[in-house]
Amino acid sequence: MTSTNPFPVVIVTGLSGSGKSTAIRVFEDLGFFCIDGLPSEMSPKLADLILSFDTKYRGLALGMDLRQFEFVDGWGKALEGFAELGITPQVLFLEAKMAELVRRYATTRRPHPLESRNLGLEQALEMEKKLLEPVRQEAVLVLDTTDYSIHDLRRVIQTKWSSLEEVGMGMRVHIITFGFKYGVPSEADLVFDLRFLPNPYFDKSLRPMSGLDKEVSDYVLGNPTGTGFIKRFHEFLLYLLPLYAEEGRYRITLALGCTGGRHRSVSVAESVLATLKEKGYTVSIEHRHMELG
């Protein structure tokens, strides 16, 4: 398989302390089925099993390293097993400079898999580097994470594997509507105050309804203020969200508020929901205070 295949198989490996666990979490956020610590010889069988199902996952990411002692010895057999299935796994190999790996181990205080009474940390790292050289040679991407932040690593992986022709698939958008009189959601990344829009609460026929009703939505968005705002708001979000995605964000929460969280915020949120879905975003919605307003 190549990176253009709709269901890629990625093997995440590399030097201990170089960021493999973080990379696995990135693939998980991208919608991959992920397993860490799998023996190498078992990996083709697992891939075959996953591919035999009508899965909703976007790919398979397998974390392997020297914690599984037979990893290097079984690597050749694993590649043969994949070849028999017609699968060419994509190997992501992570590494970092010796001084940085030593610093990270000092921070976490975890032992290296090869470390022993007769083998210090630096010697263990040097031995690991030599043992993994055949695996490194198979990599489609080798990343030196010495100067990488978590966000840098996320951005590189997203760029290569998130199939960004599906805009936003690497980033989930959650929309919350709320009433300011009940409190602003603490988990919001962006908060928008919609109390400048016409308020259906003051129309007795509309007051019992919510922004889910067409009559209310038309009242809020069908006037010059609402029409002008919603057009610009859609354009603003469609400009802004890809910028967050490029910076490695995998989730963003938009909080849209009005006085009671029942009419204006819900009307706007439902309009935004429809637009983002149409543009291919993975989006969810929560009307937090609608029944309280």
Q: 21: annotated binding-site residue?
A: yes
Q: CA 60 to CA 55: how far, in whole Å?
A: 10
193-231 CB burial, b ≥16 within 10 A, e <16:
ebeebbbbbeeeebeebbbebeebbebbbeeeebeebbe
Q: CA 126 to CA 199: how far, in whole Å?
A: 68
Give residues with Cβ within 8 angstroms of 198, minimum separation 6: 219, 220, 223, 225, 226, 264
Q: 254: annotated binding-site residue?
A: no
Q: 16: annotated binding-site residue?
A: yes
Q: 15: annotated binding-site residue?
A: yes
Q: 163: annotated binding-site residue?
A: no
Q: 40: annotated binding-site residue?
A: no
Q: 68: annotated binding-site residue?
A: yes
Q: 65: annotated binding-site residue?
A: yes
Q: Which residue spans within 83-212 are E strands per DSSP?
A: 90-95, 139-144, 172-179, 190-193
Three-state DSSP class for residue 257? strand
Binding residue positions for GTP: 65-68
Binding residue positions: 14-21, 65-68
Binding residue positions for ATP: 14-21
